[in-house]
Amino acid sequence: MPANPQTLAPTVPITSLRSPAIARELDALLQAPSLADAITSVSAGLIAWATPSLRPDAQSALELSVSTARMPTPDGEPLGAPGDEAGPFGRAARLAALAFGADHAVFGVNGSSGLNHLVARVLAMAPEPHVLVPVNTHHSLLDALTDTGVAFSRIGANYIPDFEALEPPTITDVEAAVAAAGSPVTAIVLSSPTYEGLHADVAGVAAVARRIGAALVVDAAWGSHVPFMEGGAPIAAGADLVVTSLHKTGGARQQNALLLHRDGTVDWHDVRRAGATVTTTSPSYPMLADIDATVRWLLTEAADAFAHSAALVRRFATALRDRHGDLELLGGQVGVDPLRVTIGALGRRRLTGYVVSDRLVSRGVVAEKRGSQAITFIAPLTLTREAVDATLEALEVALAAGAPDVAHLPAAASPFADADLKPALSAEVVRLLVGAGRVERVVPGDAIGRISAYRTELYPPGIPLLLPGFRVSAGAVGALAEAGETASIVSTGGDWDGRVAVLSHE
Ligand SMILES: Cc1ncc(COP(=O)(O)O)c(C=O)c1O
């Protein structure tokens, strides 16, 4: 189990933010026509000499162009455009913000990845930005910080080898990173819940951020359902900016995401300015309407659907504990996200997550994430009792011990145990060196201690093992070697060929 169960406390209940006035506003917004209704209301009989020029078979009442902005809806107001603070788009954004306890929301149609790039642009507006990021930060935010030239240092965190899972950093971890930062910290990032469903102490870290005058950003890509079932919301706990993938667990179509903003440390106008630099001039109305529809569904019907899936997850976890008590299980228990289960310590049966996953796939069962020691299942909203029972049967075969001649695989130490928390070279210098061709490709063992040229990671989870400008650690090299051929290794330096690209300036 996690070493720091105190970090797993639920966050502040979202309903506590809903003053009677906010609750009334939410109700009124819910009663107003949805974004889809507003868009389709102006499309009937429209003669559009404008883009999009769609294939005849792709026509739909929702597929209008931004040039419809001046078309009046039945209420007489113009349809307007995304980014408006009033009208149908403004109301949809306001509804989304209030639903999550925020003051403002930005609709994202390129996942949390796209919104993390927007966040980095906001953070880059600080005079001398220095951001603290936990080691479990997703590559999208790290790439974005690198691209925008924002200096960052990493916050160490506890690793649970049996589940190959990083816990969110504790307050002590954050305080240590602040003390070691060397220059004023302008923002702190948390990733919560984690891929395996562990929650950070957002309120505790928010207090640290307030004390040092830094903004708190929470990457809640995995938590769009959380405010609507567990009663916790990172904004309510004190985050200034929150990114969440509505499409992962919140019921939206793929790519749809939200950026939530709370008035205070981060200026809303900075968010709008940053958004303007990364937003398409040809928005997809079907996607935006789907975000609005999802928010409405989250506010009205989602709780039952989530509770249904959570009950099935508990059934799955209980059966796994009964049948496979020699393995470790994260899920179906207090303190872990109710929609997921990780089976760990597979080395005890001379198995890996990759082997178990392949065996499951051959029986028509696909799990979200697999690694050397663990495999993670995430419950979809369509999960049925029959599917749970069929998965348990498939696991009876898939978890049968591996070949007797395969050595017992102990859980490896943290790939981040000896990772440098600060870069050896700035992103700027790395860019210049890479541009000048000062890159060597060496076997992993020879890369230890050298400076990485690119970001390299196992995918999933998309948490970088090597970062440009950071020294290559023995732990990272060990993790890459252990993953071997079975894992998908992704590098920004091109196709992974088993060698590590290091800078050759030293
Ligand atoms: C912590 C975290 N942040 C961001 C992302 C990116 O999310 P999206 O797929 O919505 O772009 C992921 C993806 O898995 C993630 O795990």
Angle at 127 between CA 122 and CA 129, to 5 degrees: 65
Q: Whose CA is nearest to atom 1 of ligand 1?
A: 138
Residue 9 has pLDDT above 50, yes or no: no
Write down the pLDDT at residue 231: 67
* pLDDT classification of 286: cutoffs 50, 70, 90: very high
Q: Which residue has the tokens 């059966």?
A: 319
Q: What is the CB < 6 Å shell around ligand 1? A: 111-113, 138, 140, 191, 195, 219, 221-222, 245, 257, 462
pLDDT digits 0-9 by tens, 19-41: 899 999 999 999 999 999 999 99
Ligand 1 centroid to 224 CA: how many Å?
Answer: 12
Q: How far is the CA of 369 from the centre of ligand 1 (A)?
A: 13
Provide Rg for the chain, Cα atoms.
Answer: 24
- Bridge partners, residue 187, by sequence: 131, 215
Q: 383-419 pLDDT, tens per residue? A: 999 999 999 999 999 999 876 555 556 667 899 999 9
Supply the pLDDT for residue 405: 54
CA distance 234 to 225: 12
Ligand 1 pocket test, candidate residues 133, 222, 244, 259, most atoms within 8 A of CB: 222
Whether pLDDT at 318 is above 90? yes
Residue identified by tokens 């567990």 is 230
The answer to whether the beta carbons of residues 180 and 421 sit under 8 Å apart is yes
pLDDT at 5: 41
Q: Token pair 């898939």 is at which residue?
A: 398
The rounded mean pLDDT for the chain is: 92
For residue 291, name the pLDDT band (cuts at 50, 70, 90): very high
What number does the ligand 1 atom closest to the CA of 191 have? 1
User: What distance lies between CA 472 and its chain's CA centroid?
Assistant: 25
Q: What is the mean pLDDT of residues 333-345?
A: 95
Beta strands in 432-484 (DSSP E): 439-442, 456-459, 463-466
188 phi, psi to nearest 5 deg: -120, 140
Ligand 1 centroid vs 24 CA: distance in angstroms?
33
- pLDDT over threshold 60, residue 52: yes
- How far is residue 255 from each of residues 108, 219, 476, measured CA to CA in Å? 8, 15, 30
Phi, psi of 346 (to 5 degrees): -65, -25
On the question of pLDDT at 8 being above 50, the answer is no
CA of 231 to the centre of ligand 1 (A): 22
pLDDT category at 13 given cuts 50, 70, 90 is low
Calpha distance 475→418 (Å, rounded): 6
Per-residue model confidence (pLDDT) at position 58: 80
Going from the Cα of 92 to the center of ligand 1, the distance in angstroms, rounded, reads: 23
Helix orientation angle between 385-398 and 302-323, rounded to the nearest 10 degrees: 30
| pLDDT tens digits, one per residue of 75-134 | 899 999 999 999 999 999 999 999 999 999 999 999 999 999 999 999 999 999 999 999
Predicted TM-score of the model (pTM): 0.95
Categorize the per-residue pLDDT at 66 as very low, low, confident or very high, splitting at 50, 70 and 90: low
For Cα atoms 502, 505, 506, give the angle at the middle one, nearest 5 degrees.
90
> Which atom in ligand 1 lies closest to the alpha carbon of residue 113?
11
Q: What spacing in Å lies between the alpha carbon of 475 and ligand 1's midpoint? A: 24
pLDDT at position 4, please?
Answer: 46
Backbone angles phi, psi at 29, to 5 degrees: -65, -40
Query: pLDDT tens digits for 414-472?
Result: 999 999 999 999 999 999 999 999 999 999 999 999 999 999 999 989 999 999 999 99
pLDDT in the model for residue 10: 46
* 363 has pLDDT over 70: yes
